[in-house]
Structure 1
Amino acid sequence: MMEHEMYEKLMEEVDIGVHAVDMNGNTVIYNTKMASIESMDKEEVINRSIDQVFKFKSGEPSTLERALQEGAEFKNIKQTYLNNKGNEITSVNHTFPVWKRDTIIGAVELAKDVTMLEKLIQENMDRAQRSYSFEDVIGQSTEIKEIIEYAKRATRTSSSVLIIGETGTGKEIFAQSIHNGSDRSSKPFISQNCAALPDSLIESILFGTKKGAFTGSADRPGLFEQAEGGTLLLDEINSLSMHLQSKLLRVLQERSVRRIGDTRDISVDVRIIATSNEDPIEAITNQHLRKDLYYRLGVVSLFIPPLKDRKDDIKMLSDYFIQKYNALFRMNIEKVDENVMQFFMNYEWPGNVRELEHLIEGAMNITDHETAIRASHLPMHIHKRIKAASDGSKSAAPDFHQEEPAEEKPAASTGQMGLHDFLYYQEKQFILKVLEENNYHVKDSAAQLGLSRQSLHYRLNKLNIQKLRL
């Protein structure tokens, strides 16, 4: 009796599907894991033959039937079939006959579920054939909805676009979405990170080369020519040298490009989308971005909000990443623990959405049959802060929803403050004055300042100005 109970417990707890049939092909063992893999109830399968419940490709018997008929063992065989509801199941099976002396009395199948993995592989193949669209932007906050609406308007023309945002906010997703929503969607979308390569190499990649221009050079079109009719994304444009920014400005103005070593210009029809991980005003001040290039690129300027400014999206993003890695890792995590979510809501997220995704992915690598991501699954420095928060310690994660700090005061003389601090203070005072004149209405203040409403919001966040009316 005890052995039977232990056997029953084993069948229920083992994390692999078990399906056994007798010599007539009728099911005699069908454990909970197998029922989960095949989305079936045990009662629908027990004491019924395989072909009464499942449907296989025409002329292709199941591995269980083959084990009965042929007396052969099959290892690591991938099998795709339909359950009685018509749902497609894919599993990797180890199937073998059960012998009693010289007679086969049944067969057993041990199955691993790869249905979700198959779907994910197919989704990745589909994604490789299509780039991002606005539907791929995850979020429900007012901030992200507003930027999506602005970006959608940019699909109607071929004007240059400058996308500003911190690292990890998803700038390339917006760039690809604008391309795919425009009339240029059937033409190439080409991306180049300007910070990834040295100037000499970037120049030849962008503009192309003429055979004989330098040793080993050949006739090769640059990215502008390759993107003809489509869109060229220049990522981290503020990392490009001033010399190359000057050449880029010439291409934008004249709509033609000259290969290195060539004497003729080639007309190009390319839309430029550029990104910057630095405030353009600061980039110009620090000589990381030419002012004339900024005006040329920033015909449409999109400011992607950092994750700390769109806290309403953290739960949705967390759920999205959990489902993504559930499918990839064949796991069943359901949620983020309440204490962890509270930390997420108070955390500043210096790495933005990318950091959140990496935290979720890392935590899911650590979980062991749990259904929730807990503090113990996170990196030690974060784990300690969450534990401190739950213990009421002062070392808990800081609350970033504090009241606005007291207004900064300039030093006694300009000689006692740096240029950056001086410009920050002067800009803040000027914007506060305009806001006060317009009774803190953002729309009216933006019009007076000659900025878009979105651009003013970006400046307000940078300057920590919070007293507003929409």
Structure 2
Amino acid sequence: MTQEQDKQDRLRQERDQYARSVSELSEKFDEKVEELSFVRQLGDALGSSLDLNTLCRHTVNIVQESLGPEHCSIMLLDDQSLYLVAARGAYDDEASTFDFAAQDPSFALGEGVAGVAAATQKAIRINNTADYDAFVEGQEHRVNPKSLLSAPLQSRGKVIGVINLSDSLPDAFESKHERIIALVTNALAMAIENAMLFAEVTESRERLANENLQLKQQLTDRFSVDGLIGNSPPFRRALRLVEKVADTTANVLITGESGTGKEVVARTVHFSSARRDEPFIAVNCAALPETLLEAELFGIEKGVATGVDARAGTFEKADGGTLFLDEIGDMSPAVQVRLLRVLQERQVTRVGSSKTLSVDVRVVSATHRNLLDRIGGGHFREDLYYRLKVIEIQLPALRERREDILQLAAHFANRFSKRHSRPRRDFSRSAARALLNHKWSGNVRELEHTIEQAILLADGDQIELPDLGLDEPTSDGLRLELPDQIGEFHDTLSDVQDLAEQAMIRKALAETGGNRTRAAALLGIARRTLNYKLRKHDLS
């Protein structure tokens, strides 16, 4: 009987031990399931948004609902202090998501439990805050937790913040809570860092987009018809033509001497058209040899030559916009043939390829050469000429629009004063006269460079004649500069005659090497008369 009882007792003990083991395994299994469920939920939340505040709010919600702390918060590190991003339960009787705009708790690095966790890069679990000296009580004393768990958030070896769990009861957190939080801190930190980077990229993209719009508007304003300087009749005629043809798709040929502003007018045509938001690409046809110009305009395929990669040409790059072909008169006959085909078919074929690409490009070309003479000499195709010259805009030389010189000079002076941070100076009377009298063989470009030099060299109250650096005017004729007020002469006509007489005598003597007999013959007077005038004007 006793043996039977012992056997039953052993079986009961084994059964109880087995039941306990099964229960422990079941509890561990349930814990693992809960952990995996928590990790899965948090993983889904971390992948659902790249907005920092949304990401942090979702995280504190899931942590509180899954792990059951009274309060949960996320703080991020900015320089040397932690600031609150999202919280749930804290300062909120209804345990809803914390409105961080209403409260802004922060800790210096090393201050409070959160600050110590961030500084030491180690998780801290406190069973009773009364026994922990580093605990900093809430300013309003509405939340006075007894249990705390604070874990650092690290990404790429750097602490970026902390996650905090707290409860009003002591011993609320166990090692399992610490283990579960440790499972997700790295993923949470990486997600937060990605969200912060995304916010920076988004802000940069928006800033660049705004800057791009501003620059486009500045370009539109700068290259508008109203932005071009000049009121002379020949220049205004050219601008009226620009206004008429800008908002069309017609090809435009701009002619004029070098330096007259052909590219500026080409840009004005573009920025005054419906294509203003599309590319404006400029190519100088005289600056590249034939093979390079061909590849530059039409593109090239990989492998055409050793080390050559595939590259789009300017026709492709300008698709939808405007292509400006400067110095078109210097283009070789072979490139002219390919250009004519593109203009006719609106399709481009890269060098080394048989594939055609459709392009929508408006061509504005320019030249300082007489293309009709080039056609007559067999250097330019007549059919290409008429394709390019649907509309021709002729720009006058600066000597043909002298009334615009001072206005242009003032415009350039304003621009270069701002660019070089120099004071704005007006032109002295002698400098203004020199600008008006100069031949300007380099046209507006020469004037622009002259004014930039003057802005850099001037150190007085005004821009003076020496600041301009202009060569002395040369002329076979006589130049007289009259005073601003005729009344400044006492005997006006007599004085003018005397000045002219002195100048002619000096010139005659200079040309004859001082030989008075020959000088008198050049002047058409007797030698005796010349000697008299020399004494009269004190020229001896």
SS of alignment partner, residue 210 of structure 1? coil
- Inter-partner Cα distance in structure 2 for 1:382 and 1:286: 38
SS of alignment partner, residue 209 of structure 1? coil
Q: Mapping of 1:318-337 within 5 angstroms?
A: 318-337=409-428
Q: CA deviation at 1:240?
A: 1.0
Aligned to 1:258: 349
> Which shifted more, 356-365 or 300-309?
356-365
Contact residue 300 and residue 313 of structure 2 kept, 8 A = yes
Contact residue 431 and residue 468 of structure 2 kept, 8 A = no
More helix by share: 2
Aligned to 1:158: 249
1:130 matched to 2:219? The reply is yes
SS of alignment partner, residue 410 of structure 2? helix
Aligned to 1:212: 303
Q: CA deviation at 1:288?
A: 4.1
- Inter-partner Cα distance in structure 2 for 1:394 and 1:331: 43
Q: What TM-score, normalized by structure 2, do the two folds share?
A: 0.47
- Inter-partner Cα distance in structure 1 for 2:405 and 2:244: 26
1:239 matched to 2:330? The reply is yes
1:378 matched to 2:472? The reply is no
The one-character-per-residue Cα deviations of 1:362-387 (angstroms, maximum 9, x if unpaired) are: 1222222x2222222232623899xx
Structure 1 residue identity aligned to 2:337: S
Aligned partner (choices 399, 414, 417) of residue 308 of structure 1: 399
128 and 201 in structure 1: CA distance in 2 versus 1, 3 angstrom threshold: farther
Q: CA deviation at 1:394?
A: 6.8
SS of alignment partner, residue 471 of structure 2? helix
Q: Mapping of 1:335-374 within 5 angstroms?
A: 335-368=426-459, 370-374=460-464
SS of alignment partner, residue 466 of structure 2? helix
1:149 matched to 2:237? The reply is no
Q: CA deviation at 1:166?
A: 1.1
Structure 2 residue identity aligned to 1:310: R
156 and 324 in structure 1: CA distance in 2 versus 1, 3 angstrom threshold: closer
> Which shifted more, 207-216 or 291-300?
207-216
Q: CA deviation at 1:358?
A: 1.1
Aligned partner (choices 286, 297, 317) of residue 226 of structure 1: 317
Aligned to 1:273: 364
SS of alignment partner, residue 191 of structure 1? strand
Contact residue 301 and residue 311 of structure 2 kept, 8 A = yes
> Which shifted more, 266-275 or 288-297?
288-297
1:189 matched to 2:280? The reply is yes
SS of alignment partner, residue 274 of structure 1? strand
Aligned residues: 272
Superposition RMSD in Å: 2.9
Structure 2 residue identity aligned to 1:133: S
The one-character-per-residue Cα deviations of 1:253-301 (angstroms, maximum 9, x if unpaired) are: 1111111111122111111000101122233234443221111100010
Q: CA deviation at 1:168?
A: 1.1
Q: CA deviation at 1:330?
A: 3.4
Q: What TM-score, normalized by structure 1, do the two folds share?
A: 0.53
Contact residue 348 and residue 359 of structure 2 kept, 8 A = yes
- Inter-partner Cα distance in structure 2 for 1:303 and 1:249: 23
SS of alignment partner, residue 307 of structure 2? coil
- Inter-partner Cα distance in structure 2 for 1:383 and 1:199: 41
- Inter-partner Cα distance in structure 2 for 1:371 and 1:135: 31
Contact residue 333 and residue 373 of structure 1 kept, 8 A = no
229 and 129 in structure 1: CA distance in 2 versus 1, 3 angstrom threshold: same
Aligned to 1:119: none
Contact residue 224 and residue 272 of structure 2 kept, 8 A = yes
SS of alignment partner, residue 288 of structure 2? coil
Q: CA deviation at 1:129?
A: 6.8
- Inter-partner Cα distance in structure 1 for 2:433 and 2:380: 39
Structure 2 residue identity aligned to 1:245: Q
- Inter-partner Cα distance in structure 1 for 2:298 and 2:411: 40
Structure 2 residue identity aligned to 1:313: D
- Inter-partner Cα distance in structure 1 for 2:369 and 2:217: 30
218 and 307 in structure 1: CA distance in 2 versus 1, 3 angstrom threshold: same
- Inter-partner Cα distance in structure 1 for 2:239 and 2:470: 36
1:139 matched to 2:230? The reply is yes
Structure 1: gaps of 5 or more residues: 1-121, 397-470
Q: Mapping of 1:446-457 within 5 angstroms?
A: none
209 and 215 in structure 1: CA distance in 2 versus 1, 3 angstrom threshold: same
- Inter-partner Cα distance in structure 1 for 2:400 and 2:504: 24
Point out the structure with max Rg over C-alpha: 2
Aligned to 1:67: none
Structure 1 residue identity aligned to 2:425: E
The higher relative CO (CA closer than 8 Å, separation ≥ 6) is in: 1
Q: Mapping of 1:17-36 within 5 angstroms?
A: none
What is the percentage of aligned positions where both structures have the same residue? 38
SS of alignment partner, residue 130 of structure 1? helix
Structure 2: gaps of 5 or more residues: 1-210, 482-498, 507-540
- Inter-partner Cα distance in structure 1 for 2:469 and 2:480: 16
247 and 342 in structure 1: CA distance in 2 versus 1, 3 angstrom threshold: same
